[in-house]
Amino acid sequence: MVTLGLLGVLTHAARVHAQAGPPEGAPEFLLPLGARAIGMGQAAVATAVGSDAVWWNPALIARGPREVAFGITSKASPLIDADALGAVIIPVQGVGAVAISARYINYGAQEAAGGDPNSPSGTFVSTATVIAATFAAPFGDRFSFGFTAKLLSYGFSCSGSCNQAGGLPQTSALDLGAHYFLSRDSTFSVGVAIRNVGFNLQVHDAPQSDPLPARADVGISYAPKIADLPKEARLRTGADVLARVKDGDALGYRFGAELSWIERYQARVGYVVNGPTASGATFGVGFNTGKLQIDFSQMLSDLGSQGSRPTFVTLGYRF
């Protein structure tokens, strides 16, 4: 058992980030990430590439390049002080690709309650770390399948007296994904993912455990060939439908588009309806040097009512 202060942080986080429906545990699994995916309205199940794909649909790394990536998120939630991620993707010739990734979330300093409510006994900092391993393989020229195994661990450090006892909660989850090119020229594809499947997160005791935020996602990607566009320009669009796997009462929708110029400059827009964490418009930009990809995006979401405008930056290097 951990301190009441830590329990309060985790419980409040679960309530803030849960999509409409019964309470869920491990809200960190729902927090969006990947600047390119965010810029396209999180319509990523069939469109994500590189490190973004690890988190949205693991099948999408099966045909991707070798890459190392690092990303940071600012103001992902009023509760979060710091949010950073890293990933390494390694293709395996004739087999597919593997990836190792990690995410670190710091909830900042909180006061630890003592006997006198006007005189805190100390301060504590709670953190969450997600470590994940991914494998994906192509089957033929059009189909690919992948999975990601994730471990979520909570950390707790104290200055003063925090009355900590027992161990800290942790849980594991599994993501499964598939992707299929409907057209031979790869202009039209469909993706399917089931994410965050696992056992309940037990923070205090078994009767008070919460189910993981399991989600089922279906998405399409379409790159239309528009005669009026200059040959240097390329348009790509995506749309997703998502639902809670258990006890969901409303579907969510994500829409996005990306316009690139000579495969070097990108502009992105999107919109999220009834998202797991927030709804609203998104936008983003990207720049590619050939090996280095720099992406920036922001969510103009209803989290703004809580003083938050989530901003995402991702750096990816292909080698």
Q: Please report, for the chain, the start and end positions of each structural domain, with discontinuous segments joined by +.
A: 4-318
Looking at residue 129, its pLDDT comes to 97
CATH of domain 4-318: 2.40.160.40
Which of 130, 138, 12 shows the shortest CA–CA distance to 78? 12
- CA nearest neighbour of 158 among 121, 196, 183: 121
Other CB atoms closer than 10 Å to residue 14's CB: what's the count?
20
Look at 256 and 75; give whichever has higher pLDDT: 256
Judged against a pLDDT cut of 60, whether residue 165 lies above it is answered with: no
How far apart are the C-alpha atoms of 82 and 107, rounded to whole Å?
7
Burial tier of 141 (Cβ tally within 10 Å: 0-12, 13-18, 19+): exposed
On whether the CB atoms of residues 189 and 166 are closer than 8 A, the answer is: no
pLDDT of amino acid 304: 47
Residue-level pLDDT at 164? 56
pLDDT (mean) for 288-292 = 94
Quote the pLDDT of residue 16.
44
Closest to 104 (Cα-Cα) out of 31, 2, 42:
31
Q: How far is CA 146 from the centre of its chain?
A: 16
The whole-number pLDDT of residue 17 equals 46
Report d(CA 148, CA 155) in Å as an integer.
22
Predicted local distance difference test score (pLDDT) of residue 136: 98
Inform me whether the pLDDT recorded for 72 exceeds 90.
yes
pLDDT tens-place string over residues 200-255: 887 655 556 789 999 999 999 999 989 889 999 999 999 999 999 987 778 999 99
What is the pLDDT averaged over residues 71-81?
83
**Locate tokens 């927030």: which residue?**
278
Q: Taking residues 273-294, report their average pLDDT.
A: 93
Give whole-number Cα distances, 219 to 259, 267, 298, in Å.
19, 20, 21
Return the DSSP state at 168: P
Distance (Å, whole) CA 121 – CA 162: 7
Q: Which of 53-62, 156-165, 194-203, 248-257 has the lowest mean pLDDT?
A: 156-165
Is residue 118's pLDDT more than 80?
A: no
Measuring CA to CA, which residue among 5, 29, 3, 4 is closest to residue 210? 29
Look at residue 79 in the predicted model and tell me its pLDDT. Answer: 78
Per-residue pLDDT band for 116 (boundaries 50, 70, 90) equals: low
| Mean of all residue pLDDT scores within the chain | 87
Q: Which of 52-61, 70-79, 194-203, 273-282 shows the highest mean pLDDT?
A: 52-61
What pLDDT is stored for residue 121 in this prediction? 65
CA–CA gap between residue 67 and residue 292 (Å, rounded): 10
Contact 108, 77 (CB under 8 A): no
Looking at residues 282-289, what average pLDDT do you find?
Answer: 97
Q: What are phi and psi of 231, to 5 degrees?
A: -65, -20
Q: What CA–CA distance (Å, rounded) separates 192 from 271?
A: 20
- In the chain, % of residues over pLDDT 70: 84
Burial annotation 217-231 (CB, 10 A radius, 16+ → b, else e): bebbbbbeeeeeeee
In this prediction, residue 207 carries a pLDDT of 54
Share of the chain above pLDDT 90, in %: 62
Residue 3 has what pLDDT?
46
Under the banding of pLDDT at 50, 70 and 90, the label for residue 125 is confident
E runs forming strands in the chain: 67-74, 82-92, 96-112, 122-139, 143-160, 170-181, 188-197, 215-222, 233-244, 252-261, 265-273, 280-288, 292-301, 311-318
Stretch among 236-250, 251-265, 301-315 having the lowest mean pLDDT: 301-315
Between residues 186 and 266, which one has the greater pLDDT? Answer: 266
Taking residues 16-44, what's their average pLDDT?
A: 84
Question: Using an 8 Å Cβ cutoff, are 196 and 177 in contact?
Answer: no
* Average pLDDT for 101-114: 84
